[in-house]
Structure 1
Amino acid sequence: GAVQERFPHLPSLGPEQLGTLRTLDQIVDLLAEGSDVHPKAEAAATAPRHLVELVALPPIDHQDNTFGDHPHAVVIELGPDQESSDGAAIADALTNHHWTVRRIPLTGTLDDIDTTLTGTLDERTDLCIVTVGSTHDWAEATRALGATILAAKHTHPALLNTARTGTRAAFVTVTRIDGALGFVGAGDPVGALAGGVGGVVKTLGVEHPELFSRALDIHPALDGDRFTTAVLAELHDSAVDTPEVGVGELGDRQTLVPGIHAGSAEQTSVHLNTPVEITALTADDVVLVTGGARGVTALCVRDLARHCDARFILLGRTELVPEPQWAHGVEDQDLRRAAIAGLGGTATTPREIARTCAAITANREIQDTLTVLGERGRYIAADVTDTAAIEAALGADRDQITALVHGAGVLADALITKKTAGEIARVLSPKIGGLAAVLGALGETPQLRHLVFFTSVAGLYGNSGQADYAAANEALGRFAATWKHRHPDHHVTAIDWGAWDGGMVTPELRGYFLDRGITLLDPDVGARAFTEQFTTARRDDVVILIGEAKSLATGQPSHRPDTIVRRNLSDLPAHRIIAAHRIGDHTVLPATFGLGAMINVVERAHPGLCVTTVRDFRVHKGIVFDHPITDVSIETTHTDDNEPVRVHVQVFGTENDRRVPHYAATFELSTTPDSAPAVPVTWPTTGADAEILYRDATQFHAPPLQGMRRILRDDADTLVLGCALSGAPVALGAFTGVLHNPVLADVILQGPPVAGHRALGSACLPLGIGRIDYYDALPDDEPFVLIVDNARRGPVDALVDACAVTANGTVLQRFTDVTVVTTPDLSEKFRESVRQWSA
């Protein structure tokens, strides 16, 4: 960032490039190579487009004994009215819960704040809470983001010391935007910039995953005890896969996807061969583009110009100067040799030669862009943060501008512990201060109808060394959402760009991304994605991700402390799916939900990992809703520190003041499941209606759980069933895993009791599974095939295997050694269930 600030003609380095460089020599060598826009064959010819949006979260699973004994907290307060602030309320609430609390109100410049915090936070700290007050001032909002980074810088050493003791150490920010992380957009756009603290928190989580890092946005209407109760509850959440949580006016919780919590809910694709028709920009439109004469921004501008008749004003830092005589007619790759010859005998150093060559290639790139634009293009050199300079440079064109594309930005990569106030300001300034200056220069321009911001996947996921860059980009996303809410007829989009391929992406860097499973974004496809945002179909996208929905950083550590988690079940019996699982007169929690609760808790404690194997699942005593049941205790124990991660989990309830075991299993987690095997297809594509299995009380499930549809094969050794069922989430997904859907998994467990009925002559229930292998998720509301075989009879039980496969035999999930058990009165209970749901 400092180098680019001093030499603005240098090519721009994106986070996907600079984030992997660790020495000045590496950076200078890359900068000297010139343009970063040439496409590479390895980049994908298409790209995914993900809508960044809010999704509902289930209620908190409360972790007991989260913090150590006699915990200490520091509450850092940013913004006006600090003595009557949220910070004071939080401090009082913590004190009432036997915390030792220290309050630190912060004022002044970032340098002042850095000085204030230096050496003052070395004592024991279990929790740091940063409260960010509301503001309508651009400078104050920017300062708050920088101050949050400095707070993380100065508190995290003490927090890490606490984390090493095995108890939770937490860094938490609290904003009061809209209770939805700034994405509902009900407030002031400048005030919504505070949502950029999420970028800081996510980056801290990447750099120090052993910390509990969370950005909370609490609805402004939640006050008093409701406010502090919401904050304190989040501190004890067992899940660590939600670095951002919004708490609404009614206590409802939300987070953003895609992210480490979950993938995108809505995804489309960008294709170069898709026709593009832009009616929103005509010859009467003028598009102002910051940082738009070079690099990927220039690529985007060129593609947009090919699809519309608008005029373009490109604003950059580089002053256009004539080339030296020795560079005339010399190709870019030969400039260094020509410079050495042309500057021979002077005191010019090799690095000065490299900078001179980079300046020449930068000028050439600007000229190339202007050549493509022809008479429709104009370049102005000005400081993007200087309102007066921008206004003067625009001149008479100021009142003609109808669209703003804000692509300016710089980097100053350093881990949070190494960040300086000056570096933070340099990064925040062009993104946030630049937007303020440009909008200030344009004034109250009624014709400004399009706002497009270049943001980054580094903000969406966090990226090591880029807390300030992540904060700036996330702030612009919240600004976009709020501006759109205020101007619903405007086109407002923040584009979180994934990793672009380009001339500075070396084979080593490309290999790094391939090893991480990240496909680089082809420059032509990226430019087309930008152009498509001006089409009618895409103009209402507010925040989108173009490229892979994956973090650029390395994954979370595998080890997590053993926990005791309390989950509330009081709302479950009313759900139609649970009510459909009625055995005789009793509603019983399906075993796959008990299994799902354990999987959910384990996976959310290990972001980036999923359960791929389950061993020795046992139902000790099913959960029967014939009396009020509130909480169950889910207790995890890590069996070793090796790969794969193994966690033993037990679920306990309480009956008559006695501790009652319900379920137990051991889980293996990994980043991806093994490659799926296949089985021979030995069944026809159609068969008899499987409803008879429910009607004749071989099974008891009511229609919402009746997933066995066709009997495709039925002989002495094997039963093959065609299955399909809607797997709509229950309890906001609280019983779901990456590969486990409790509703669809119940269909798998419906097969073995059918085989058990035939072996034992009476109704059966599943009470254990020797092993589960997950290869892929079961298809939701789509057909799959269930193979039930290898039945082995015992006195009152049987072991049966069940395997869910696709129509072509690819294994999705295999349940081995399913134990089914019968009792003398179970068949009559099944018949009673059928009488009730069929009446």
Structure 2
Amino acid sequence: MNSNTKINSSSVILVSGGGRGVTAQCTIKLAQQYQCKFILLGRSQLAKTEPEWSQDCYEQAELKKRIMQNLIAQGDKPTPAKIQKVFNSLLAQREITTTISTIQQAGGQAEYLSIDITNSSALQAELAPIVQRLGKITGIIHGAGNLADKLIENKTEQDFETVYSAKAEGLESLLSSVEIAELDFIVLFSSFVAFYGNPGQSDYALANEILNKTACLLQRKYPSCRVVSIGWGPWDGGMVTPQLKKFFDDLNMDLIPLEVGAQMLVDELTYSHNKAAQILVMSSPIVAQPKQLNPELRSFRLRRQLTLAGNPFVYDHVIGGNPVLPAMCSIAWIANICEQLYPGYHFLSCSNYKVLKGIIFDDTLAKKYFLDLKEINKSDSGEITFEAILWSESTKGIPHYHYSTQIKIVRVIPLADTYKTFTLSQDPATLNLLPYENGTLFHRPIFQGLKRIINITPEKMTAQCYLNKLEAEKQGQFLLQTFNPYTADILFQCLLVWVRHFYKLGSLPLQVKNLEQFRPIPFDQEFYISVEIYSKSEANVYANATAHDAQGQVYLQISQMQVTTSERLNVLFLKNSCTEIENSTVIN
């Protein structure tokens, strides 16, 4: 692993929240590694000397007794709240002093500035003389943060402002105090809460997600500056109270030791990693625990607006000059919603799936699409079955039905059987079959995962497949969840190739009796599809299809997959690009 750090003893690092807690431990570790300079920012006031009455006293009960005595001597009433406030202030000062002393002992330099970091003009004014002494700021660590944990219905505007301002407005203020283009690095202390959420921390999750997105923007705008937002899991220190420790213990989540976390930050800034602008640092992921099922069978109606601009992948799925929603995407649409209704459950199967009227991104694209879900079965063994219909409404109020199916989600995916009749025996005659040329298939690069036809007979076809990973922005409104519609689409492609080879006709998906997934078909990984034809006529072909790996371990299998054939499709398949899209097609 190569070092790519620009940090050295001349580096001047601006650190918010750097005098105390976990951020202080990180600055100490950097000082030990590079003997650099720090400007530590915090809210706590730092007295030049500690009061005589508290010196050399470290036992909590005795220290609080001395605080009480001092308040009485000053003619003040020593209430528990006042005693605790003085006690907390005294501990904060001691911790800041210890941080500065430890940095200096490591060979670094540190100056502490007590300031509200959200006050941009005050921060710039106070930093100016320090920069004159230490030198130009070369890096930023934004570790400041506040908590105001309450359920959202109990939060006040002040609660939100307290949490939000330290993170978001604090960062804005820090950035306005430096020349960003001249910085070597920017490190933002985010939280795993921005990714997973946490009860009572809606404002904290939002504020940290702003840090994550800002890091991505800054990294893109300033490529020579290393920018990273670290979504820390819970540390063994800082804002993690004993109550929170128990909460994380119940989740089987180990706390990050201070020494380990600090070293991880140093390593992130020292070595050549993938330079991702956002990373998560946790002992283990949080897995949603399924709640006990309510036996009541419920119904849902969900609305969605589809746009061409919001779904770039459909530009590679064009028939007759018009982008068309792939059938597998409609299954993913329904399956994803079912999973979201029941966290901890996973898509297992889709049965009696029918394409009633496909969705075309032309002037027929509806303003809204409706998904009606009806629970038809709930089992104590952990199975839920939904009846689903996707439809839209015409301008005259007439419903148009697009897809119907039944979806089953389960707590535990069963083990799959092995596909035993798989053969890699290459038929030399199939080497010249080029499925994406001459209109055999209309699919463009995003969907072109059919790499080689291994063999093809009137009864069977075997294909080698590999599909490059599709970036999230191109997946649009159909982000990959449990079911991968982009790789699953290749099962239908195989049957379309078989129809074209033996019938010289184009064909399109019509229905599926049953689709069962045991594990998602991955991107960037070789897999195979075996198709078995069991019935055919002039207008329709029926087949079973299985996606599996080289050892025959099944990803997904479809029984009674039906396509409809038509000579008219031969011409439409050749028109597989749309150079012009009418403005009316894109609904904003």
- Which residue of structure 1 lines up, in the alignment, with residue 143 of structure 2? 407
Measured at CA, do residues 396 and 381 of structure 1 come closer, stay the same or move farther in structure 2, by a change above 3 Å? closer
Preserved CA contact (<8 Å) 2:321 2:575: no
1:367 aligns with 2:98: yes
One-letter amino acid of the structure 2 residue matched with residue 649 of structure 1: I
- Which residue of structure 1 lines up, in the alignment, with residue 582 of structure 2? none
Preserved CA contact (<8 Å) 2:350 2:408: yes
Q: Within 2, Cα distance between the matches of 1:527 and 1:740?
A: 38
1:292 aligns with 2:31: no
> 2:560 aligned to 813, 817, 832, which one?
817
Q: Within 2, Cα distance between the matches of 1:290 and 1:572?
A: 40
Alignment of 1:608-627 (within 5 A): 611-620=347-356
How far off is 1:682 after superposition? 5.4
Alignment of 1:68-467 (within 5 A): 274=1, 276-279=3-6, 281-316=7-42, 317=44, 319=46, 321=50, 325=56, 327=58, 363=94, 367=98, 370-371=101-102, 373-374=104-105, 375-378=107-110, 380=112, 382-385=114-117, 399-401=133-135, 402=137, 403-428=139-164, 430-431=166-167, 451-459=186-194, 463-467=198-202
Preserved CA contact (<8 Å) 1:792 1:798: yes
> 2:520 aligned to 777, 780, 788, which one?
777
How far off is 1:784 after superposition? 1.0
Q: Within 1, Cα distance between the matches of 2:541 and 2:188?
A: 62
> 2:386 aligned to 638, 646, 652, which one?
646
1:546 aligns with 2:272: no
One-letter amino acid of the structure 1 residue matched with residue 147 of structure 2: L
Q: Within 1, Cα distance between the matches of 2:153 and 2:16?
A: 31
Superposed CA offset, 1:330-371 (max 9, x none): xxxxx679989999x999999979996996698468637733
Q: Within 1, Cα distance between the matches of 2:532 and 2:122?
A: 78
SS of corresponding position for 2:317: helix
SS of corresponding position for 2:413: coil
SS of corresponding position for 1:631: coil
Q: Within 2, Cα distance between the matches of 1:473 and 1:465?
A: 14
Superposed CA offset, 1:152-198 (max 9, x none): xxxxxxxxxxxxxxxxxxxxxxxxxxxxxxxxxxxxxxxxxxxxxxx
SS of corresponding position for 1:509: helix
Measured at CA, do residues 360 and 801 of structure 1 come closer, stay the same or move farther in structure 2, by a change above 3 Å? same
**Structure 1 runs not aligned, ≥5 long:** 1-273, 328-334
Preserved CA contact (<8 Å) 1:596 1:740: no
Alignment of 1:668-683 (within 5 A): 668-669=408-409, 674=413, 677-679=416-418, 683=422
Q: Within 2, Cα distance between the matches of 1:512 and 1:688?
A: 57
How far off is 1:637 after superposition? 1.9
Q: Within 1, Cα distance between the matches of 2:476 and 2:443?
A: 21
- Which residue of structure 1 lines up, in the alignment, with residue 489 of structure 2? 746
- Which residue of structure 2 lines up, in the alignment, with residue 179 of structure 1? none
> 2:233 aligned to 499, 505, 508, which one?
499
**Higher mean C-alpha deviation, range 490-499 or range 727-736:** 727-736
> 1:723 aligned to 465, 471, 476, which one?
465
SS of corresponding position for 2:520: coil
One-letter amino acid of the structure 2 residue matched with residue 818 of structure 1: M
1:801 aligns with 2:544: yes
> 2:265 aligned to 513, 524, 530, which one?
530
TM-score in terms of structure 2 length: 0.67
Measured at CA, do residues 666 and 353 of structure 1 come closer, stay the same or move farther in structure 2, by a change above 3 Å? same
1:509 aligns with 2:225: no
Superposed CA offset, 1:659-697 (max 9, x none): 664432123456x872652515654556236466678x9
Preserved CA contact (<8 Å) 1:451 1:492: yes
Q: Within 1, Cα distance between the matches of 2:124 and 2:501?
A: 82
Measured at CA, do residues 742 and 324 of structure 1 come closer, stay the same or move farther in structure 2, by a change above 3 Å? same
How far off is 1:622 after superposition? 5.8
One-letter amino acid of the structure 1 residue matched with residue 516 of structure 2: D
Q: Within 2, Cα distance between the matches of 1:738 and 1:680?
A: 25
One-letter amino acid of the structure 2 residue matched with residue 417 of structure 1: E
Measured at CA, do residues 812 and 416 of structure 1 come closer, stay the same or move farther in structure 2, by a change above 3 Å? same
**Structure 2 runs not aligned, ≥5 long:** 73-77, 577-588
Preserved CA contact (<8 Å) 2:24 2:99: no
Superposed CA offset, 1:414-466 (max 9, x none): 233323455445445644676688789x7999987655443334456654433
Q: Within 1, Cα distance between the matches of 2:307 and 2:16?
A: 51
- Which residue of structure 2 lines up, in the alignment, with residue 74 of structure 1? none
Measured at CA, do residues 602 and 635 of structure 1 come closer, stay the same or move farther in structure 2, by a change above 3 Å? farther
Measured at CA, do residues 314 and 679 of structure 1 come closer, stay the same or move farther in structure 2, by a change above 3 Å? same
- Which residue of structure 2 lines up, in the alignment, with residue 252 of structure 1? none
Q: Within 2, Cα distance between the matches of 1:382 and 1:308?
A: 25
Q: Within 2, Cα distance between the matches of 1:691 and 1:576?
A: 28
One-letter amino acid of the structure 2 residue matched with residue 415 of structure 1: L
Q: Within 1, Cα distance between the matches of 2:422 and 2:223?
A: 56
One-letter amino acid of the structure 2 residue matched with residue 648 of structure 1: A
1:578 aligns with 2:308: no
Measured at CA, do residues 404 and 711 of structure 1 come closer, stay the same or move farther in structure 2, by a change above 3 Å? closer
Measured at CA, do residues 764 and 366 of structure 1 come closer, stay the same or move farther in structure 2, by a change above 3 Å? same
Superposed CA offset, 1:518-571 (max 9, x none): 786565564345335645968987x52433698899999998841465656799
Q: Within 2, Cα distance between the matches of 1:632 and 1:784?
A: 38
**Higher mean C-alpha deviation, range 679-688 or range 788-797:** 788-797
1:562 aligns with 2:311: no
SS of corresponding position for 2:149: coil
Preserved CA contact (<8 Å) 1:290 1:384: no
Preserved CA contact (<8 Å) 1:404 1:452: yes
Q: Within 2, Cα distance between the matches of 1:340 and 1:600?
A: 61
> 1:663 aligned to 392, 403, 408, which one?
403
Superposed CA offset, 1:473-501 (max 9, x none): 4566677778889x948847462423134
Preserved CA contact (<8 Å) 1:600 1:737: no
Preserved CA contact (<8 Å) 2:15 2:142: yes
How far off is 1:804 after superposition? 0.7
Preserved CA contact (<8 Å) 2:148 2:159: yes
1:791 aligns with 2:517: no
Q: Within 2, Cα distance between the matches of 1:287 and 1:325?
A: 32
Preserved CA contact (<8 Å) 1:789 1:802: yes
Superposed CA offset, 1:740-797 (max 9, x none): 4555333212445678899999997642211222344333364211123483679986
Preserved CA contact (<8 Å) 1:462 1:551: no
Q: Within 1, Cα distance between the matches of 2:479 and 2:396?
A: 30
Q: Within 2, Cα distance between the matches of 1:362 and 1:573?
A: 55
Q: Within 1, Cα distance between the matches of 2:414 and 2:422?
A: 23
Q: Within 1, Cα distance between the matches of 2:571 and 2:217?
A: 56
> 1:597 aligned to 316, 330, 339, which one?
330
Identical-residue share of aligned pairs (%): 20
SS of corresponding position for 1:410: coil
Measured at CA, do residues 778 and 371 of structure 1 come closer, stay the same or move farther in structure 2, by a change above 3 Å? same
How far off is 1:617 after superposition? 0.5
Q: Within 2, Cα distance between the matches of 1:420 and 1:712?
A: 65
Q: Within 2, Cα distance between the matches of 1:680 and 1:664?
A: 29
One-letter amino acid of the structure 2 residue matched with residue 688 of structure 1: D
- The CA RMSD over aligned residues, in Å, is 6.0
Q: Within 2, Cα distance between the matches of 1:647 and 1:519?
A: 41
TM-score in terms of structure 1 length: 0.50
Q: Within 2, Cα distance between the matches of 1:726 and 1:593?
A: 17
Q: Within 2, Cα distance between the matches of 1:545 and 1:829?
A: 51
How far off is 1:284 after superposition? 2.4
